[in-house]
Amino acid sequence: MRYFLKYTPYIFRKSRVIQLTFFVTRRCNSKCSFCFYLSQEPEVHEKELSLEEIERFSESMGELLWLLFSGGEVFLRDDIVEIAKVFYRNNRPAILTLPTNALLPELIYERTREIVKSCPESVVVLKLSLDGIGGEHDAIRGVRGNFEKVMETYSLVKELLRYPNFELGVNTVFCSANQDSIMEVLRFVEREMPEIRTHTVSLVRGNPRDTGMKQVDLEKYRETISFLERKLDSRHGSYSFAGSRLKTAQDILQRRLIYETARQNRRLIPCYAGRLNLVVTENGDVYPCEILSEKLGNLRESGYSIPRILESERAKRVIGDIASGKCHCTHECYFVTNILFNPAMYPKLLGEYIKLFRKKKSNGSRE
Ligand code: SF4
Ligand code: SF4
């Protein structure tokens, strides 16, 4: 309720950024074939924003509904706990998401535990990447033994579920390499990883290293999202935090919209990137989203001020182009805000919410 009241005004006025994706590093210990962000440049480390620089730009922003750390492998930043604390102090994110390739189990456990303890009023979501079973996962990720590491990480971090603000999930990238076996991955997680509350599937996006990864059969994607909807009967398909049924209803709408956007190859609903969402890269470049290549500015050249960047003529032009519908994509993160902050979506959202409520009730009466 607290967050509902706090963020309701932004449904009507898209007047400030409430969702930030921060690419904390470009370094990674994995070599995924669908990656669009990996860099082999040795000097990439030196260009990363320091903790002091991060503090300065975070101070220029207001409170955040959702902070998503991205990369690279986020846990490769030795100061990731300190970075989380900076945002917690300055922006109080309601949700803080940490995706990981799970290659460093002990380190991920230790750093996640510190973040969970240091950010008690944020829901800290750890997302383990899993794209196949056994050797298939290793082949897609380009790292032998990666699958075992995911399972080892899972065994360690599930202990953190004793903290009420910790949420554990899995994400699978739907790509040409696993489109025929993805159901096995979904069933495996349900069977062998019972502490996983949510299993999300991201449709491959951007310009991957291996462009063949984007040769997907959309009907197989549709079958996958139908399976995920049916899974809502189980504990696996639903979040545990307050307002989780609304989030689940939004997930259902989101997957259908993504399928239709890809099928029709056009934008179906307005996009609020640049107004409600922003992306900051490890070297301080600022973009409206992860997909568009035209940057709005750079923090180092703009006194570490997000408002100053957004007031520039360049930012106004790019954001104007987005509002006029010049681009489209299937990136899941933007559909979250594009659905939840769009009143035109509410009748459908309410419909899904009521269906979930009824389903839960009828399951309860059967038990
Ligand atoms: S997709 Fe993520 S984990 Fe895989 S190589 Fe790219 S940055 Fe690393
Ligand atoms: S529709 Fe996609 S590409 Fe266009 S601004 Fe929104 S998130 Fe970016």
What is residue 324's predicted lDDT score, i.e. its pLDDT? 95
What is the number of the ligand closest to the CA of 327?
2
Nearest-CA residue for ligand 1 atom 6 is 35
Amino acid, res. 163: Y
Distance CA 331, CA 199 (A): 16
Q: Check pLDDT > 60 for residue 361.
A: yes
pLDDT, tens digit, for every residue of 194-247? 999 899 999 999 888 899 999 999 999 999 999 988 876 555 555 666 667 888
Distance CA 348, CA 341 (A): 13
Nearest-CA residue for ligand 2 atom 1 is 328
* DSSP reduced 3-state for 69: strand
pLDDT, tens digit, for every residue of 158-186? 999 999 999 999 999 999 999 999 999 99
DSSP H helical ranges for 8-104: 9-12, 51-59, 80-91
What is residue 230's predicted lDDT score, i.e. its pLDDT? 82
Q: Check pLDDT > 70 for residue 39.
A: no
Q: Which residue has the higher pLDDT, 205 or 361?
A: 205
Using the atom order of ligand 2, give the atom closest to the CA of residue 277: 7
Using the atom order of ligand 1, give the atom closest to the CA of residue 29: 8
Q: Which residue has the higher pLDDT, 294 or 2?
A: 294
Q: Check pLDDT > 60 for residue 20.
A: yes
Name the percent of the chain lying above pLDDT 90: 81
pLDDT, tens digit, for every residue of 56-68? 999 999 999 999 9
- Residue 359 pLDDT class (50, 70, 90 cuts): confident
Tokens in use for 283? 């070297």
Tell me the residue length of the chain: 367
Q: Check pLDDT > 60 for residue 366.
A: no
Distance CA 260, CA 246 (A): 21
Return the minimum-mean-pLDDT range out of 254-258, 292-296, 298-302, 354-358. 354-358
User: In Å, what is the CA distance from 336 to each residue of 6, 18, 206?
Assistant: 17, 12, 18
Q: Which residue has the higher pLDDT, 70 or 241?
A: 70
Q: Check pLDDT > 70 for residue 317.
A: yes
Provide the mean pLDDT of the chain.
Answer: 92
- Residue 148 pLDDT class (50, 70, 90 cuts): very high
Using the atom order of ligand 2, give the atom closest to the CA of residue 291: 3
Amino acid, res. 169: G
* DSSP reduced 3-state for 282: coil
Name all residues whose Cβ lies below 6 A of ligand 2.
267, 271, 273, 288-289, 291-292, 322, 327-329, 331, 334
- Residue 307 pLDDT class (50, 70, 90 cuts): very high
Q: Check pLDDT > 50 for residue 125.
A: yes
- Any ligand 1 atom below 6 A from CB of 173: no
**Pairing mode of beta strands 285-287, 297-298:** antiparallel
261 Cβ neighbours under 8 A, 6+ residues apart: 267, 268, 328, 329, 330
**What's the 293 CA to ligand 1 centre distance in angstroms?**
19
Say which DSSP state 231 is in.
G
Q: Check pLDDT > 60 for residue 348.
A: yes
- Residue 41 pLDDT class (50, 70, 90 cuts): low
